[in-house]
Structure 1
């Protein structure tokens, strides 16, 4: 009976995939009937930065003189109308947090092999504004962080940082205004959770670095903390 039920389930599964084939979320091509979200072609051909291989790179240079980073890297380069943009758009606006999780798992496998990422103690995602998270239903940076935590075998602290309800956006402020606003834009919710730890601060896309700078400043105000950073993408040159 068990074998009959198993064969019946497989037949239904194959029939469903025939009617509603799974498509690669980056390029739209057909996927085999498995749990993957990307085809093998995209998994290997998406524009990887490989910044994780060097302790100093184009990512960390953005923060020189702003915050003392231990290390930092973006997973992919981001270009307008490219496959990475398509992935992140679906992650943020089409209710597909599984994209962030899978990209985090893939990137975590690479980061854990590098000496300058090996002493990280925990993953901390950049928080969303409460109203935006309520509308979206999840924090895309936390989905990415959960994937990283899984493959790096590290604790994930999605609520270590919070963005108060009254906080203003960082992106349209001057650097001096951002620094002044950092004291209220983000705050550490549980300092005892991160004291003395090397934290990997994560977000979806690195643009000006304003938001991550503000978050890192708050984390580094906690005694004996160190900060590294990782994002899914950053703008290509």
Structure 2
């Protein structure tokens, strides 16, 4: 007869933790016994949050000035090399920890839903992966961020875009190279109509903004669509 985990004595729970540690994904330290959240309280406090949501024009929107017509854009964290946000993103993208994206999305959604410009958002659209890359990874990290946002903002997640070109990794590319790499890489999904809607386009990390620009340009083909953006982190 199996014993529910919640009924295990504390000493046995601690013993199991030695062999199967429950670690914070931002600092890799042990989480308190019984904690289900993937981020410890210290990291929740110390993660470098931006104030983008408080300003229609900010460091995120500046990267797309003159390139797209945006309502606004916001990233939750500032990406710092070897910092907490980078470790979170590594676990999300490469360690199969989809729950990190959903957790951050729910957390950021709680922030954004109190901001007037985001209250008019009607649909959340994740930046898609190419089917080959999604099969290799097993999931799209932007989908999980979008799911969390959708839950806390009470908005539907709409798969409105698909990636039709398998592109090279952009980690070491210049802005011009990134723009060329994703040019014509996306197209709208047939049968989806977002005309007249305020759409929140979301991705995990903003660097030059080339991927978001390419996706945003496709969404703006819909008549009278209003476009905003959100990301987990923004890099210098």
* 1:196 partnered with 2:196: yes
**Partner of 1:193: helix, strand, or coil?**
coil
CA distance in 1, matches of 2:178, 2:115: 35
What residue in structure 1 maps to residue 152 of structure 2? 151
* 1:135 partnered with 2:136: yes
What residue in structure 1 maps to residue 16 of structure 2? 19
**Partner of 1:73: helix, strand, or coil?**
strand
What's the CA shift for 1:174?
6.3
CA distance in 2, matches of 1:64, 1:49: 19
CA distance in 2, matches of 1:180, 1:46: 31
What residue in structure 2 maps to residue 10 of structure 1? 6
Alignment of 1:1-237 (within 5 A): 9-12=5-8, 14=10, 15-20=12-17, 21-32=21-32, 33-157=34-158, 159-164=159-164, 166-169=165-168, 171=170, 172=173, 175=176, 178=179, 182=183, 184-190=184-190, 192-236=192-236
What's the CA shift for 1:75?
0.4
CA distance in 2, matches of 1:125, 1:13: 42
CA distance in 1, matches of 2:175, 2:59: 22
**Partner of 2:108: helix, strand, or coil?**
helix
More helix by share: 1
Using the size of structure 1 for normalisation, the TM-score is 0.88
Contact 1:145 1:156 in 2 (8 A): yes
- Give unpaired runs (5+ residues) of structure 1: none
- Give unpaired runs (5+ residues) of structure 2: none
What's the CA shift for 1:195?
1.8
Contact 2:24 2:40 in 1 (8 A): yes
The size of the alignment, in residue pairs, is 228
Off by >4 Å, runs of 4+ in structure 1? 169-177
Contact 2:132 2:166 in 1 (8 A): no
CA distance in 1, matches of 2:168, 2:75: 22
Using the size of structure 2 for normalisation, the TM-score is 0.88
